[in-house]
Amino acid sequence: MTGAAADTADEDFVFNPFAPGFTDDPYPHYREVRERVPVHHHPLGFWLLSRYADVSALLRAGLSVDARHATPGPLGQLYEELGADLGDRRAGGMSMLDKDPPDHTRLRRLVSKAFTPRAVEALTPGVDTLVDEALDRIADAGSADLVEALAFPLPFAVISRMLGMPPADHERLRGLTGLLVRSLEPVTEPDVVRAIAAADAELTAMTADVVAWKREHPADDLLTALITAEDNGDVLGDDELVAQVVLLYVAGHETTVNLIAGGTLALLRHPDQLAALRADPGLIGNAVEELLRYDSPVQSSRRITLAPYRVGDREIPAGSFVLANLAGANRDPAFFGTDADELRLGRPDARQHLSFGGGPHHCLGAALARLEARTAIGGLVRRFPGLALDGEVAWNGRINLRGPERLPVRV
Ligand code: HEM
């Protein structure tokens, strides 16, 4: 199709993430859209990019992430009619994920002052202990749902402790963050939109209380470091602080759970690769990169064009909402070769995956996620030579933050 037709939605093919079975295995759909319409103008108004080169360039192009710049498509109109105004509310929020420069640069710099590689490195012994304890419990029971026994509690405990969140609120917080991340999904049910908005308000209020308490009770934790973080006399304001804490808290566990559970499942489904990792535990670093590539815990990321944006022979108009299909790009044979759909733990360029995004918004927690996944998956493989699937896997039904909801294993 030529640039002249770029302002009309593609008519001969429509990418459908609501197709039956999509959330169990979206990869055939990603392959089809990448091969048929790699620059896809969807009838719902957004654009979808699926080739590695296009996705990587988009993320690095410094486009906007502020949804207020997008011409509202049918989904945005639905939110407006509902009065929940979710799209605007997220964009009007103060998390760095929704901010453009200069705000983004400033917020990211201040948070980076507290969330340093050294702070992550210092977590290693605590992560080792949490994994050992979880593996002991699994060994005693002989079988487990790996999501409940390890993949969820590990990142949840690590980020909660790191921030200094009060332990008593964990269950409530877990329910709220589970709802909040649905704002990253294409939600169309009015009740769900309202529930997400309510969860966001409650989580923000709870976090504000914790921040106020922490101001009075400073400790050796990330939250205290964020409160005191300063850059040339600049500090985080109250609302800004709360928004970054909510972001770190949610991003800190709602993603890594998918990497640990989805990664373990991928290994169990590829016994030859699991055997290779057993034979060479030193492979774990590259193995985690390949598991990230093979099944991306965050499947897509979004940008908004402020000016016409050209991809090959198509021109995406200003004010468009563009989805970067990270998971589809990670399987692009034009970049990763003809075996891109295969799991190969020794793949030399596995680390080139786009699962942590790229450019100015590249994941700030990548080192922490890698540490947790190496320790959890490496520990499981080392400790349990008989690790095997023990029943049906259930997926969480999410299109974006996709992963197993139940992963029954026996050891
Ligand atoms: C941003 C993925 C774990 C904190 C991102 C982005 C992706 C991503 C794709 C970029 C979004 C965009 O470009 O619009 C992941 C994956 C994880 C993970 C796959 C686990 C496997 C974590 C953890 C933390 C974290 C553990 C913190 C504790 C953040 C933050 C941002 C971010 C703060 C926003 C950065 C910015 O806007 O400048 N993550 N993440 N993430 N991530 Fe992660």
Give the position, in ligand 1's atom list, of the atom nearest the Cα of 362.
Answer: 10
Over residues 260-311, the pLDDT tens digits come to 999 999 999 999 999 999 999 999 999 999 999 999 999 999 999 999 999 9
Q: How far is the CA of 275 from the centre of ligand 1 (A)?
A: 31
Biggest CA-to-CA distance, the chain = 65
Backbone angles phi, psi at 362, to 5 degrees: -50, 140
Establish whether residue 377 lines the binding site of ligand 1, counting it when its CB lies within 6 angstroms of any ligand atom: no
What's the pLDDT score for residue 11?
A: 65
CA separation for the pair 238, 217 (Å, rounded): 16
Establish whether residue 58 lines the binding site of ligand 1, counting it when its CB lies within 6 angstroms of any ligand atom: no
Q: How far is the CA of 255 from the centre of ligand 1 (A)?
A: 8
Establish whether residue 256 lines the binding site of ligand 1, counting it when its CB lies within 6 angstroms of any ligand atom: yes
DSSP 167: G
Could you give the percent of the chain with pLDDT greater than 90?
71
What's the pLDDT score for residue 87?
A: 44
φ/ψ bin of 18: left (φ > 0), alpha (ψ from -120 to 50), beta (otherwise): alpha
Find the mean pLDDT for residues 336-350. Answer: 98
Closest CA to 355 of 303, 291, 407: 291
Among protein residues, the one with the nearest Cα to ligand 1's atom 34 is 97
* Cβ neighbours, 10 Å, residue 397: 11
What's the pLDDT score for residue 84?
A: 43
Domain that holds residue 114: 3-410
Over residues 135-150, the pLDDT tens digits come to 999 999 999 999 999 9
The Cα angle at residue 360 between residues 354 and 366, in degrees rounded to 5: 50
Residue to probe by mutation, ligand 1, list 98, 255, 325, 355, most atoms within 8 Å of CB: 255
Residue 151 near residue 135 (C-beta atoms within 8 A): no
Q: How far is the CA of 209 from the centre of ligand 1 (A)?
A: 24
pLDDT band at 245 (very low <50, low <70, confident <90, very high): very high
What's the pLDDT score for residue 165?
A: 77
Residue 309 near residue 49 (C-beta atoms within 8 A): no
Among protein residues, the one with the nearest Cα to ligand 1's atom 14 is 301
Over residues 66-122, the pLDDT tens digits come to 888 887 665 555 555 544 444 444 434 689 999 999 999 999 999 998 888 888 999
What's the pLDDT score for residue 73?
A: 67
Q: What is the value of pTM for the model shown?
A: 0.93
Establish whether residue 321 lines the binding site of ligand 1, counting it when its CB lies within 6 angstroms of any ligand atom: no
pLDDT band at 170 (very low <50, low <70, confident <90, very high): confident
ipTM of the complex: 0.99
Establish whether residue 199 lines the binding site of ligand 1, counting it when its CB lies within 6 angstroms of any ligand atom: no
Structure tokens at 47: 């654009």
Q: How many helices (H) and strands (E) does the chain have?
A: 19, 11
User: Taking all residues of the chain, what is their mean pLDDT, rounded to a whole number?
Assistant: 90
Q: How far is the CA of 355 from the centre of ligand 1 (A)?
A: 9
96 Cβ contact partners less than 8 Å away, ≥ 6 residues apart = 103, 104, 107, 108, 111, 244, 247, 361
CA separation for the pair 250, 174 (Å, rounded): 9
Q: Number of folded domains in the chain?
A: 1
CA separation for the pair 2, 312 (Å, rounded): 10
Residue 38 near residue 44 (C-beta atoms within 8 A): no
Question: Rounded to whole angstroms, what are the CA distances from 255 to 24, 42, 54, 143?
Answer: 17, 26, 24, 24
Q: How far is the CA of 298 from the centre of ligand 1 (A)?
A: 9
What's the pLDDT score for residue 173?
A: 83
Residue to probe by mutation, ligand 1, list 95, 222, 256, 363, most atoms within 8 Å of CB: 363
Establish whether residue 149 lines the binding site of ligand 1, counting it when its CB lies within 6 angstroms of any ligand atom: no
Closest CA to 299 of 394, 377, 397, 392: 397
340 Cβ contact partners less than 8 Å away, ≥ 6 residues apart = 330, 331, 332, 333
Over residues 352-369, the pLDDT tens digits come to 999 999 999 999 999 999
Give the position, in ligand 1's atom list, of the atom nearest the Cα of 59.
Answer: 13
Among protein residues, the one with the nearest Cα to ligand 1's atom 4 is 365
Among protein residues, the one with the nearest Cα to ligand 1's atom 43 is 363
254 Cβ contact partners less than 8 Å away, ≥ 6 residues apart = 177, 178, 181, 401
Over residues 228-238, the pLDDT tens digits come to 998 888 888 88
CA separation for the pair 69, 172 (Å, rounded): 34
Backbone angles phi, psi at 165, to 5 degrees: -70, 145
CATH code of the domain containing 233: 1.10.630.10
Over residues 24-63, the pLDDT tens digits come to 999 999 999 999 999 999 988 899 999 999 999 999 999 9
pLDDT band at 192 (very low <50, low <70, confident <90, very high): confident
